[in-house]
Chain A
């Protein structure tokens, strides 16, 4: 196992298009790092540069002590699980697993032993004599993971391995992968993992740390809790968390020295702690509040935003309430049993934000200005 380091890594294509803009990232030994972001954010490109399937046009990638920029994929000490599994269709599962070892000319008993071990861990022993076309999606994916595991690589790379599976299978495979990671750690063989996905649920549930990317830049690298509670910018704030954080333009004013936020004709007081942390006292900002941090109150409640209900989504234990406030649409998530009556379309309600959960972002840089000092 080894530490993975990316220093100022860049990727510029022949056409001049710069896909990756000088990113720095360190993945600790044994850490499960997730690269997440919308399509086009270059997370797969970055992964492929680590693997050696794309050339690096700038910067340096280190695995352990070695700089691997110029090494072929086979010599980097990496293993990769592909989105479409990429199992060799003409070889039985057994031979798919052992292909790498056979190429290296390892002795037969060693190959057989390793194949046995890996298939036991992944519960694919009965599948060893089958061809890939005879496997289900989940089975094929386990074989692909096995092929990676058998190599005892220094770094495991996963390229959206679960996107081709149906929702139920995805959930169970997620658990299987994280269990495997924990088990290897417990056995004293911690695995350094870089896992690419576009699904933020996968990212949040699987990663020790998450690296949020956008258009070839790193937006934030942090553990899930930090990402959720203290997003560094509006992009991360909007990307992490379901439903998305409400982000609207607002004006910060300080009448009588008390900071207030104004949206249109409505004003909400900002809690004192937050007020002190802000560097500015006045000016345009972006106001962010998660749907789960809005209380639904009767209209005309103080320090709440009044609006009209546009859509009610009843999910059983929760209700997603879409409320129009001064032309902006807010979503509030409320537990069903907290409301005496389910609001109806057209009804007027007020949304009261939890004061200590308010985020303010700079309108231009999108930076989270409410974190200073935390």
Chain B
């Protein structure tokens, strides 16, 4: 049942008009207020999205045109930004940098999915001594500004000899280091009734088998959300690679873009913008293909938190 009472205005008892004329007035009033709402949302939305629209258009423009007009449509579309930008001013093409990004993301996402699922399962389905304290640390880590741990982490990785490699980026996530994901999976798990797992145990499955064959399929949407978010965050990660990666041949896209601003001449902006569009493309594609997982994930993490 939808409540439509918000359409009725305040009416004094004396003013009686025929029902039909009143209804027309009410409908008109509600249409106007809807129109206003749509209008505001649309205009504001366009303003919000214009930088992105402009970016895509500009990547196909010549440099001169970029600085000439605020319109996003290229008057003489050209791929020169993409072709030259791809070459970069390093011995490597952008393909190399995308490959590096892929090399960073894939193990990180897989490691996150596996470790966070295991840990969330542990917290949500088991009782053990010290569980409360340990869970409190999850919450604390969630709120902890990681600025304090960054320097010693660097020193630790230096001492192990992991500098200038991808290991410092992979390993912390592979041990459920991202408290946000652990927390999110725990929340999802709490909402799933234990009946099916109990049935599996009665059928003779041990806890690990129950996890793999029963829980994971039910938790799949949440795990997908986790993977998607980790994918996004890693694509955008800059400070991590900045600290740990020094050889250009290992640069991910985020560092490569920074490099290109430093090294490219001022009048080659269209190259930089073109590469920026390419850098955003994976994130955008993934987002549009899997929208509902994002919305679900962030809503559960935030609302039921």
Contacts and interface: CB of A to CB of B under 8 A. Distances in A.
Q: Do A and B bind each other?
A: yes
Interface stretch (B9-17, B50-58, B76-84): B9-17
B195 to A, nearest CB: 23
Contact of B16 (A53, A54, A67, A73): A67
A18 B11 CA distance: 27
A45 B19 contact: no
B1 interface: yes
Contact of B1 (A44, A60, A69, A73): A44
A67 B4 CA distance: 19
A69 B19 CA distance: 8
A71 interface: yes
Contact of A70 (B1, B3, B4, B19): B19
A54 B4 contact: yes
A348 interface: no
Contacts of B9: 72
Interface string A46-90: 001000111100001000001101111101000000000000000
A52 B13 CA distance: 15
Contact of A72 (B10, B13, B19, B22): B10
Given A60-B19, A69-B19, A55 B4 contact: yes
A250 B69 CA distance: 88
Contacts of B26: 70
Contact of A75 (B10, B16, B22): B10
B263 interface: no
B1 A66 contact: no
A39 to B, nearest CB: 13
A52 B10 contact: no
Q: Max chain A CB contacts within 10 Å: which of B1, B5, B22?
A: B5
Contacts of B3: 53-54
A45 B5 contact: no
Query: Chain B's interface: helix, strand, loop or mixed, by majority?
Result: loop
A40 to B, nearest CB: 13
Contacts of A70: 8, 11, 19, 22, 26
B261 interface: no
Contacts of A52: 5, 8
A19 to B, nearest CB: 10
Contacts of B10: 72, 75
Contact of A45 (B1, B8, B13, B16): B1
The bracket for how many chain B residues form the interface is 10 to 19
A156 B296 CA distance: 41
Interface in B1-56: 1, 3-5, 7-11, 13, 16, 19, 22, 26
A44 B9 CA distance: 23
Given A66-B13, A67-B16, A72 B1 contact: no
B121 to A, nearest CB: 30
Nearest to B15: A70
Contacts of A69: 19, 22
A71 B19 contact: no
A69 B17 CA distance: 11
Contacts of B8: 52, 55, 70-72
A138 to B, nearest CB: 25
B191 to A, nearest CB: 19
Interface string B207-250: 00000000000000000000000000000000000000000000
Contacts of B22: 69-70
A60 B10 CA distance: 18
A52 B1 CA distance: 13
Nearest to B8: A72
A39 B5 CA distance: 23
A211 B9 CA distance: 31
A67 B16 CA distance: 9
B48 to A, nearest CB: 31
A55 B7 contact: yes
B24 to A, nearest CB: 12
Contacts of B16: 67
Contacts of B11: 70-72, 75
B27 to A, nearest CB: 10
Contacts of B1: 44-45, 48, 53-54
A53 B5 contact: yes
Nearest to A52: B5
A71 B14 CA distance: 12
A333 B8 CA distance: 53
Contacts of B7: 55
Contacts of A71: 8, 11
Contacts of A66: 13
A324 to B, nearest CB: 40
A183 to B, nearest CB: 31
Contacts of A48: 1
A67 B11 CA distance: 12
B12 to A, nearest CB: 9
18 contacts: A48-B1, A52-B5, A52-B8, A53-B3, A53-B4, A53-B5, A54-B3, A55-B7, A66-B13, A70-B8, A70-B19, A70-B26, A71-B11, A72-B5, A72-B8, A72-B10, A72-B11, A73-B5
Across the A-B interface, the 5 shortest Cβ-Cβ residue pairs: A72-B8, A70-B22, A55-B4, A53-B3, A70-B11
Given A53-B5, A70-B11, A72-B5, 14 more contacts: A44-B1, A52-B5, A52-B8, A53-B3, A53-B4, A55-B7, A55-B8, A60-B19, A70-B22, A72-B8, A72-B9, A73-B5, A75-B10, A75-B11
